[in-house]
Amino acid sequence: MDQAARQEMPQVTPRRVWAFHGGLHLPDHKRESTGRPVRPAELPARLWLPLQQHIGEPAQPVVSVGDTVRKGQLLARPKGAISAGIHAPTSGTVVAIGPHAIPHPSGLRADCIELASDGRDAWAELPEPWPDFEARDPVELRERVRWAGIVGLGGAAFPSSVKLSPKADLPVHTLVLNGAECEPYITCDDMLMREHADRVIEGARILRHVVGARAVLVGIEDNKPEAIGAMQQAIAASGDARIAVVVVPTKYPSGGERQLIRVLTGAEVPSNGIPAQIGIVCQNVATAAAVADAVVRGRPLISRIVTLTGEGIAQPCNLEVLIGTPARDLIAQAGGYTPRVAKLILGGPMMGFALPHDDVPITKAANCLLAPSRAESPTPPAPLPCIRCGRCAEACPVELLPQQMYWWARAKDLDKTQDYNLFDCIECGCCAHVCPSHIPLVQYYRYAKTEAWAKEQEKRKAEQARQRHEMRVARLERLESERKAKLRKKKEELETPPADAPAEDPKKAAIQAALERAAAKKAALAAQGVAPRNTGELTPAQQRQVEAADARRQATAPAARDDED
């Protein structure tokens, strides 16, 4: 494999990139938050760690209220295959485990571990650092990634160890590192690559080793020349020629997993499929850095870089933030709100969701706190009727027909929306952005998807209930027939008069009969002069035992043996 890799290698000439359909050229607003280097946020007094910060099952707490914990100690362990553990971001005391506001579009509360920091930030004992990761077995490394609670840091928060688990029938040839960061305003990956390119490349090499890929392609949009330069330098410093930076044109949403894979390789991930089906695994650059920390330094994922930006924030910046830090603390450290603040968005302006308030903790998936002014994020005008202009279809990166899906979603015809491939929609918002009638198209698709899921679930529930009902009916029938059979038997027994033989216990009679049979047999054998033997087929070992026993017997009571059983 190494040879094949070496042949593929040197990428001096610029690589070809492919285009994807549609997309938008948006003002990127990156410069506002890249002026200052990333600085660590202040140690918060209280942290709230939601038990579910990832796709899949929520983690299970392994600490109880009152426990003192140290930085990096496991607080909640993953439950099930698709789950991720949570570690203490700092040392302190667990003061509560219960519902607290979490970053969620509907302002939901969910179970969190509340940690009061003791200010000492003292580390727990950490697992052994493995700088020699290339000598390690991928299985070990994967376990380390799972231990570290690493999830996709690009925003989806899918547990990384799952993506790294090999499927025998799906060999991986290329690892794609996503450094596109296509959404306007967000710069946390850009800053990470500028300042910690070595960690990203280290992570890339570990991930490449784990998935067994021949090549690593790092996709970065051309509006981040500093990051591109730093990454190229880090690759040169690592001497690993299997890794190449590919500069991709700036076009939203080139950072979508499927779009980036298309741009870098020209291949399309099948609808409903995963990249591994075409031999590709895609990870975010920040995820790669977290993997490097876990493997090379033995540190779990307890912090991430968060962009604070928008005209509503006094000093836009990037902060290195402990997971669980309240957003409010961070905004205060970025100089607080300006009077122009109109909204608070977690994530970018295209796909992020608006927070009702800032009393929510930063989770592993939180890449950006955007506080736009009214000018930056105007309240959309009232929607007008669709004029079927088709701009939405032009902009759709998945080549859907957004206006048809809109008509069917509005008509609540869920089957029809699925005929138009509703579930291929990535909710990037391009269609709504270009719509001259300002129809909130994405909202309609979310509605239709949720309705379809609910319907599906209802169907499943109904099916389950039907099965349960059928089984219950069958069970009742069986019990009833058993009861009837018993009754009938009893009745028959009562009805038949006792046997003419004097009431003798049938058991005793049987024993008597058996004894008589045995005696008769013995007599017959004795008449032939043969003693009964049970030594028909013996193994040589058994045979030797028998012989030894016979010898002993003969030695002790030779006379008595001959005529007795």
Partner 1 sequence: MRFPTLTSPHLTGPNSTTRVMAEVLLALVPGIAALVWYFGWGVVINIVLASLAAVAAEAAVLRLRGHPVQPAITDLSALVTAWLFAVSIPPTLPWWLTVIGVLFAIVIVKQLYGGIGYNPFNPAMAAYVLLLVSYPVQMTAWLPPTLLADHVLSFQDSLALIFLGTPPAGLAMDAITQATPLDVMRQKLDLNQMISEIRQSPLWGDFGGRGWEWVGNWFLLGGLYLLARRVITWHIPVSMLGAMLVAAGLFWLADPETHPFPAFHLFSGGAILGAFFIATDPVTACTTRKGQLIFGGLIGLLVFAIRSWGGYPDAVAFSVLLLNIAAPTIDHYTQPRVFGHAKGRKHDR
Of residues 297 through 356, those in contact with partner 1 by CB under 8 A are 337, 341-345, 347, 349-356
* CB atoms near residue 104 (< 10 Å): 16
Q: Burial, 552: exposed, middle or buried (Cβ in 10 Å; 0-12, 13-18, 19+)?
A: exposed
Q: In what order do the strands lie in the sheet with 39-40?
A: 39-40, 317-322, 303-309, 368-370, 345-346, 353-354
- Between CA 85 and CA 159 the distance in angstroms is 9
Question: Is residue 389 within the footprint of partner 1 (CB under 8 A)?
Answer: yes
Binders of partner 1 among residues 15 to 44 (CB under 8 A) are 20-21, 26
Question: Is residue 380 within the footprint of partner 1 (CB under 8 A)?
Answer: yes
* Min dist. Cβ of residue 182 to partner 1 (A): 13
* Min dist. Cβ of residue 439 to partner 1 (A): 10
Give the nearer residue to partner 1 in terms of CB position, either 419 or 477. Answer: 419
Give the nearer residue to partner 1 in terms of CB position, either 115 or 369. Answer: 369
Question: Is residue 406 within the footprint of partner 1 (CB under 8 A)?
Answer: no
* Min dist. Cβ of residue 272 to partner 1 (A): 8
Q: Burial, 502: exposed, middle or buried (Cβ in 10 Å; 0-12, 13-18, 19+)?
A: exposed
Binders of partner 1 among residues 360 to 379 (CB under 8 A) are 370, 372, 376-379
Structure tokens at 255: 């950072």
Among 241, 249, 242, CA closest to 180: 249
H helical segments located in 148-255: 160-164, 188-211, 225-238
- Between CA 247 and CA 149 the distance in angstroms is 30
Instruction: State the number of binding residues for partner 1 (CB under 8 A).
Output: 76
* Min dist. Cβ of residue 224 to partner 1 (A): 20
Tell me the residue length of the chain: 565
Binders of partner 1 among residues 414 to 443 (CB under 8 A) are 418-421, 424, 427, 429, 432-438, 440, 442-443
Binders of partner 1 among residues 93 to 122 (CB under 8 A) are 105-107
* Unique residue bearing structure tokens 């380390």: 144
Binders of partner 1 among residues 438 to 457 (CB under 8 A) are 438, 440, 442-443, 446
H helical segments located in 109-159: 138-147
Question: Is residue 532 within the footprint of partner 1 (CB under 8 A)?
Answer: no
Question: Is residue 251 within the footprint of partner 1 (CB under 8 A)?
Answer: no
Binders of partner 1 among residues 151 to 170 (CB under 8 A) are none
Give the nearer residue to partner 1 in terms of CB position, either 32 or 293. Answer: 32
User: For residue 117, what are the β-bridge partners?
Assistant: 92
Binders of partner 1 among residues 258 to 277 (CB under 8 A) are 258, 262, 268-273
Contact pick of 5, 386, 452, 525 for partner 1 (by CB under 8 A):
386
